[in-house]
Amino acid sequence: MTNSPASRLAELGIILPSAPRPVANYVPFVIEGDYLYLSGQGPREAAGTLRTGKVGAEIGIDQAYADARLTGVNLLAVIQEALGDLGRVRRVIKLLGMVNAVPDFGDHPKVINGCSDLLVDVFGDAGRHARSAVGFGSLPNNITVEIEAIVAFRN
């Protein structure tokens, strides 16, 4: 595996989409010092289609994992827009992963691993992060997952 995040994305066959635009009154990211704070992103396909549904009902763990991975791709697109180069990422600090799940669903960490695994694949050890993975009774537009992140970067 090469060291460049761009090379790793190419190896994974991932082409970053344009960064998703906010759907309400907020900005997609804030830079404060050497930290990038990313607003929550969801599983939006490049064509704009949202992946929706209730995990543990009509959506299984494998599909929800894939949705979290897609959400990670969207987070990477926002990082690219904010920093201009994924190579500036020093460390992924923290993720908050929210799963739109039925009340008795308990595998939230397995779902959010879709994003976590992607970040490690792209950034190596710098992609390892602290994380919370929690269930919610609903998410905006009935999306399956929403994930936000904090990233340290090089100036």
CA dist., res. 60 & res. 79, Å (int): 29
Q: What CATH number matches the domain at 5-153, 3.40.710.10, 3.30.420.40, 3.30.1330.40, 1.10.3720.10? A: 3.30.1330.40
Give residue limits of the domains in the chain: 5-153
Among residues of the chain, what percentage have pLDDT more than 70? 99
Of 2-6, 32-36, 39-43, 133-137, give the lowest mean pLDDT range. Answer: 2-6
Predicted pLDDT at 1: 43
Predicted pLDDT at 2: 54
Would the pLDDT of 143 be above 60? yes
Residue 26 CA to its chain's centroid (Å): 17
Would the pLDDT of 40 be above 70? yes
> Which two three-digit tokens encode residue 50?
């949202």
If you average pLDDT over residues 67-90, what whole number do you get?
Answer: 98
Listed in sequence order, the DSSP H helices in 85-126 are 108-123
**This prediction's pTM:** 0.96
The burial class, CB within 10 Å (0-12 / 13-18 / 19+), for 27 is exposed
Would the pLDDT of 49 be above 60? yes
